[in-house]
Chains A and B, each alone.
Chain A
């Protein structure tokens, strides 16, 4: 009895192994069937990944001024500029504009300077006697001007001008060019340091 039992047990065990193997095969085949389209069409899979709204922005800059070109955003609005997925995005508290990197005809950065005192405060400085207001005009800071030229879905030409802190324009240009944006002037490489 003690000898027969193991035989019975072995047969039961083999049957259970056969059933488990079949289940694993079935699962493997199912995964293969589901995964095969993804393996054969990697571009579409990548496209789905980049189009997801949850994609983390790769370059972000706050306190950016949109000088002109925001269709739904007023000129000189302050907001956050970021590269999200394959697009450049500018968002204020109320609205958002997005430009696909592939639609950019030209992107350029330029250095300029802006007055430290602007707006209503500027008007107030005019009242300072003995030309004090003029002296205050001497105070300015360097900025980067980022200019985009792109087309909309209908082929219409658009332009946008952003003002960023000094040195912040180049990362955006570099990132967008890497994603397919065109640039008539290539990004200047940093000068090699002599050690």
Chain B
């Protein structure tokens, strides 16, 4: 009886030893990377205020700034994550209890050329890169990353602003 028990223990011990490296490898594989950790964490807020884009030192035409802002309002509203999407300066935002604030700062801008894009297919792309920062009511940063919007082939240059806003909306969707 004792002999059988010892044999069983040794077999189980060997199986555990054999499985240990697999478990270690599996746990390392399954660990979220530094980029994933941001999207894995979920925050909650009932309302968001979108501030005006800060152009910084980047020379960006006003129509791009306005298009970015208006697309952001539309696309973030479409996510359905917030009861209210407040515009910058809206007096009602002050009374919102758990308000988060989205700020965008221009990092780089290339206007490109629709004609060049469509004729050559390899040059003339439009690109905008903005830093997207979302903070809570206390000012704590919840999301902080650079997002690029671009038009590679078809469409007007302003379409880069739509591409950017869709990507920001996807980040908001993952974060809230």
The distance in angstroms between the C-alpha atoms of A108 and B66, with both chains bound, is 11
Name A110-150 residues within 8 Å CB distance of B.
110, 113-115, 122, 134-135, 137-138, 140, 145, 147-149
Which of B63, B91, B119 is close to A161, meaning CB atoms less than 8 Å apart? B63
Are B89 and A156 interface neighbours, CB within 8 A? yes
The distance in angstroms between the C-alpha atoms of A68 and B67, with both chains bound, is 7
Closest approach, in angstroms, between the C-beta of A89 and any C-beta of chain B?
19
Task: Map CB proximity to B onto A73-117 as digits: 1 under 8 Å, 0 otherwise.
Answer: 000000000000000000000000000000000101010011100
Which chain A residue lies CB-closest to B67? A68
Inter-chain contacts of B69 with A (CB < 8 A): 157, 159
* Interface of A: prevailing SS: strand
The distance in angstroms between the C-alpha atoms of A192 and B112, with both chains bound, is 33
Given contacts A137-B115, A156-B90, A157-B88, contact A147 B70 (CB under 8 A): no
Q: Does A2 contact B (CB under 8 A)?
A: no
Q: Does A190 contact B (CB under 8 A)?
A: no
Q: Does A177 contact B (CB under 8 A)?
A: no
The distance in angstroms between the C-alpha atoms of A176 and B154, with both chains bound, is 35
Are A157 and B87 interface neighbours, CB within 8 A? yes
Name B148-162 residues within 8 Å CB distance of A.
154, 156, 158
Are B115 and A110 interface neighbours, CB within 8 A? no
Name B22-75 residues within 8 Å CB distance of A.
52, 61-63, 65-67, 69-71
